[in-house]
Chain A
Amino acid sequence: QKEVEQNSGPLSVPEGAIASLNCTYSDRGSQSFFWYRQYSGKSPELIMFIYSNGDKEDGRFTAQLNKASQYVSLLIRDSQPSDSATYLCAVLNTGNQFYFGTGTSLTVIP
Chain B
Amino acid sequence: EAGVVQSPRYKIIEKKQPVAFWCNPISGHNTLYWYLQNLGQGPELLIRYENEEAVDDSQLPKDRFSAERLKGVDSTLKIQPAELGDSAVYLCASSLAGDTDTQYFGPGTRLTVL
Q: Which residues of A contact B (CB under 8 A)?
A: 4, 8, 32, 42-46, 49, 51, 88, 90, 92, 96-103
B53 at the interface (CB under 8 A from A): no
B56 at the interface (CB under 8 A from A): yes
B49 at the interface (CB under 8 A from A): no
Decide: B45 and A98 in contact? CB cutoff 8 A: yes
Complex partner residue of A96 from B42, B99, B107, CB under 8 angstroms: B99
User: What are 17 residue pairs bridging A and B, where the CB atoms are less than 8 Å apart in the complex?
Assistant: A8-B40, A32-B99, A43-B107, A44-B91, A45-B105, A46-B102, A46-B103, A49-B100, A88-B42, A92-B99, A96-B56, A96-B99, A97-B56, A97-B58, A99-B45, A102-B42, A103-B41
Least CB distance, B44 to chain A, in whole angstroms: 7
- Closest residue on chain B to residue A42 by CB atoms: B107
Q: Identify the 6 closest CB pairs spanning chains A and B, nearest first.
A: A100-B42, A43-B105, A100-B43, A92-B99, A32-B100, A46-B102
Counting chain B CB atoms within 10 Å of each CB, the highest count among A49, A97, A101 belongs to A97
Decide: B103 and A43 in contact? CB cutoff 8 A: no
Complex partner residue of A43 from B48, B56, B106, CB under 8 angstroms: B106
CB neighbours of B43 from chain A (8 A): 44, 88, 100
Q: Which residues of B contact A (CB under 8 A)?
A: 33, 40-45, 48, 56, 58, 91, 99-100, 102-103, 105-108
Counting chain A CB atoms within 10 Å of each CB, the highest count among B43, B48, B107 belongs to B43
Q: How far is the CA of A96 from the CA of B105 in the complex (A)?
A: 19
Q: How far is the CA of A100 from the CA of B45 in the complex (A)?
A: 9
CB neighbours of B99 from chain A (8 A): 32, 92, 96, 98
CB neighbours of A92 from chain B (8 A): 99-100
CB neighbours of A49 from chain B (8 A): 100, 102
Counting chain B CB atoms within 10 Å of each CB, the highest count among A46, A98, A103 belongs to A98
Least CB distance, B33 to chain A, in whole angstroms: 8
Least CB distance, A85 to chain B, in whole angstroms: 13
Decide: B107 and A98 in contact? CB cutoff 8 A: no
Q: How far is the CA of A51 from the CA of B44 in the complex (A)?
A: 22
Least CB distance, B41 to chain A, in whole angstroms: 5
